[in-house]
Structure 1
Amino acid sequence: MPANAPAPQTGGADEQAEALHDLVLRSLDDDKALDVASIPLVGKSNIADYMVIASGRSTRQVASMAQKLTERIKRDLGRNVRVEGLPVADWVLIDAEDVIVHLFRPEVRSFYNLERMWAFEESAASAVAAH
């Protein structure tokens, strides 16, 4: 292989999704996100492999976490992401394809309660299995 050839890609789409998921969780932890929840979507939806939901104490923290996360994804993984809701920062959606991230102020998060909506299938399956 020539010295200037790009390194071969290792791992498939699953490994890339896991690397992105790990980066998202590390970034949110570094930025002191509150109540981080990760919901696996494989087998539930084809929109992404994971949905990550977290809160910030203020619109300023939510905006800062979103900006840092998008910069880290671009820098570390070379991916561009779509961001919605940044100017207001009550609820910021980051679509990184394999991982969808929702960042909320706590009041807005409790109003929309995405965890309950996406975990409904799991709780229904658990209830059926228990009988």
Structure 2
Amino acid sequence: MRTETPPRPADADEKGIAYVGALRELALGCLDEMKAEETVEINLAGKTSLADTMIITSGRSQRHVGSIADKILQEMKEKGFGTARVEGLPACDWVLIDAGDVLVHIFRPEVRGFYNLEKMWGADRPAGVAAG
């Protein structure tokens, strides 16, 4: 259960489309820059009230997962998206960044295969990620 949604930048349109798009692009850009692997984006609009977009990706190790999460959180703060709710940073097996309209799941590959969120949400699994 989310406690609060981060404030939207002043230039976001009424429906928040610009906000969601900018936040999505920020997250995907950070994932690319940090060399995250097997990134999948799932459009949740109209499927759930949890968020509009879910991004699922993998890091090669616990350290890589933590570094990816830190990069996204730092960029969000610097770009005026506020502070997202984060879970899993101490262990770094699975880190969830809940930025309101955009959810980012960062897994170690073994943990990702076990939970298989892509199947749960009806998205195709990327090649090379073993099912749990």
TM-score, normalisation: structure 1 = 0.83
Cα RMSD over matched residues? Answer: 1.5
Q: Which residue of 1 aligns with 2:104?
A: 101
Partners of 1:48 and 1:56 in 2: how far apart?
Answer: 23
Q: Which amino acid aligns with 1:26?
A: G
Please report how far the alpha carbon of residue 39 of structure 1 lies from its aligned counterpart in structure 2 after TM superposition.
Answer: 0.2
Q: Which residue of 1 aligns with 2:64?
A: 61
- Paired residues of 2:12 and 2:19 also in contact (CA < 8 A): no
Deviations 1:62-104 (A, max 9, x none): 0000011001011113321011000100000000001001000
Q: Which residue of 2 aligns with 1:9?
A: 11
Q: Which residue of 2 aligns with 1:127?
A: none
Note the residue ranges of structure 2 that are not aligned, 5 or more in a row: 1-9, 125-132
Q: Which residue of 2 aligns with 1:79?
A: 82
Point out 4+ residue stretches in structure 1 off by more than 2 angstroms.
8-12
Change (3 A) 1:42 1:84: same
From the CA coordinates, give the structure whose radius of gyration is larger.
1
Report the secondary structure of 2:82's partner residue: coil
TM-score, normalisation: structure 2 = 0.82
- Given the alignment of the two structures, is residue 26 of structure 1 paired with residue 36 of structure 2, yes or no? no
Report the secondary structure of 1:102's partner residue: strand
Partners of 1:18 and 1:58 in 2: how far apart?
Answer: 29
- Paired residues of 1:73 and 1:79 also in contact (CA < 8 A): yes
Q: Aligned residues, how many?
A: 114
Higher RCO, 1 vs 2 (CA within 8 Å, ≥6 residues apart): 2
Partners of 1:112 and 1:21 in 2: how far apart?
Answer: 23
Q: Give the helix-richer structure, 1 or 2.
A: 1
The share of aligned pairs that are identical, in percent, is 49
